[in-house]
């Protein structure tokens, strides 16, 4: 057990195992999409808390299932691998958060409950084993593709988001998966994880992610019935510029942290473009 692990409080350890960055980003994105959809305050509040609970469950289940693998590759910065949190406790809280996410979705209608449950089941399936298969990208495409519909399904007249929004969400999910895994390719191979990015390789994964982000941005630019607005056009241009720079960089040098950060920047710009469109 590391010194860091022994000094970390139980609550802080739990929070650290939720993957706080992605959890907060997805939660804030649900808030932004809900505001853009014009949800009433009580509906918006329930949606945001339900999404937050769902993301907590996904992050904790991921670290609980991967605890032994993380310890094998020396990831003692993670609470479970470092000994500050047991896998059993993390999994118990993850299950509780999962149930809470579904219960909080219920007052917003059966359609949202179904969409949220499908997205969460997909994410848990990835954590439970799909991450080590050639179809590891599918849970991300499915869950993120459904995500823009959360806000529209939470309204008084529930409906699925427009196809162009679903396409943008799917492209965002694919990019997150392909790029996020790149940082851990070597560690994953050592522990037997061979998902799609591992089979494609780092360079191909980043190039496909960048291309997918551009496709998603193009869908958001051209999809709305009112046509492109000035703000949306600015975000689209920014997405394309960052994606092109990323592609050029990955072609001339081995993928590194800068490439990962640039791809994530392009993905965040795509998310912002989706919100303002």
Using CA atoms, how far apart are residues 25 and 27, in angstroms rounded to an integer?
A: 5
The torsion of the CA quartet 256, 268, 123, 170, rounded to 10 degrees, works out to -100
Ranges in the chain annotated CATH 1.20.120: 162-277
Q: 12 vs 59, 78, 85, 116, CA distance in Å?
A: 14, 11, 10, 27
Q: 107 vs 110, 153, 154, 170, CA distance in Å?
A: 8, 12, 9, 26
pLDDT digits (tens, 9 = 90+) for 4-38: 444 568 899 999 999 998 899 899 999 999 999 99
User: Which of the residue ranges 47-51, 201-205, 212-216, 252-256 would you say has the lowest mean pLDDT?
Assistant: 252-256
pLDDT value of residue 236? 92
Which superfamily does 1-161 belong to?
A: UbiA prenyltransferase (1.10.357.140)
Q: What are the contacts of 41-49 at 24+ separation with CB within 8 A?
A: 43/108, 43/154, 43/155, 43/156, 44/154, 46/104, 46/105, 46/107, 46/108, 46/154, 47/105, 47/108, 47/112, 47/150, 47/151, 47/154, 49/104
Closest among 202, 203, 104 to 154, alpha carbons compared: 104
Residue carrying the six token digits 């409950």: 113
Residue carrying the six token digits 């999409």: 33
pLDDT value of residue 224? 86
**What is the fold, at CATH topology level, of the domain defined by 162-277?**
1.20.120
Q: Is the pLDDT of residue 60 over 70?
A: yes
Mean pLDDT (the chain, rounded)? 89
Query: What φ, ψ does residue 77 adopt, rounded to 5°?
Result: -75, -20
Q: Is the pLDDT of residue 186 over 70?
A: no
Closest among 144, 149, 60, 133 to 99, alpha carbons compared: 60
Instruction: Band the pLDDT of 108: cuts 50, 70, 90.
Output: very high
Element (H, E) at 205: helix 202-222
Ranges in the chain annotated CATH 1.10.357.140: 1-161
pLDDT digits (tens, 9 = 90+) for 110-159: 999 999 999 999 999 999 999 999 999 999 999 999 999 999 999 999 99
Q: Does residue 73 sit in helix, strand or coil?
A: coil
């Amino acid at each position: 057990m590391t010194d860091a692990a022994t000094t970390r409080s139980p609550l802080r350890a739990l929070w650290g195992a939720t993957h706080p960055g992605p959890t907060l980003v997805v939660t804030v994105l649900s808030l932004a999409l809900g505001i853009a959809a014009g949800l009433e305050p009580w509906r918006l509040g329930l949606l945001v808390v339900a999404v937050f609970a769902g993301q907590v469950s996904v992050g904790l289940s991921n670290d609980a299932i991967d605890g032994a693998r993380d310890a094998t590759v020396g990831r003692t910065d993670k609470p479970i691998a470092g000994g500050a949190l047991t896998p059993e406790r993390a999994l118990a809280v993850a299950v509780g958060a999962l149930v809470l996410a579904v219960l909080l979705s219920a007052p917003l209608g059966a359609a949202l409950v179904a969409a949220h449950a499908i997205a969460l089941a997909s994410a848990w399936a990835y954590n439970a084993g799909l991450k080590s298969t050639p179809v590891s990208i599918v849970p991300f495409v499915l869950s993120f593709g459904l995500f823009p519909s959360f806000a529209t399904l939470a309204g008084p007249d529930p409906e699925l988001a427009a196809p162009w929004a679903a396409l943008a969400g799917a492209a965002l999910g694919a990019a997150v998966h392909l790029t996020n895994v790149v940082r851990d390719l070597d560690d994953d191979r050592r522990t037997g994880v061979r998902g799609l990015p591992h089979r494609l390789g780092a360079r191909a994964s980043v190039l496909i992610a960048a291309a997918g982000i551009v496709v998603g941005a193009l869908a958001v630019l051209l999809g709305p019935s009112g046509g492109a607005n000035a703000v949306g056009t600015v975000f689209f241009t920014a997405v394309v510029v960052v994606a092109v720079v990323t592609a050029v960089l990955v072609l001339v040098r081995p993928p590194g942290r800068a490439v990962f950060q640039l791809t994530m920047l392009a993905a965040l710009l795509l998310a912002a473009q989706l919100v303002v469109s």
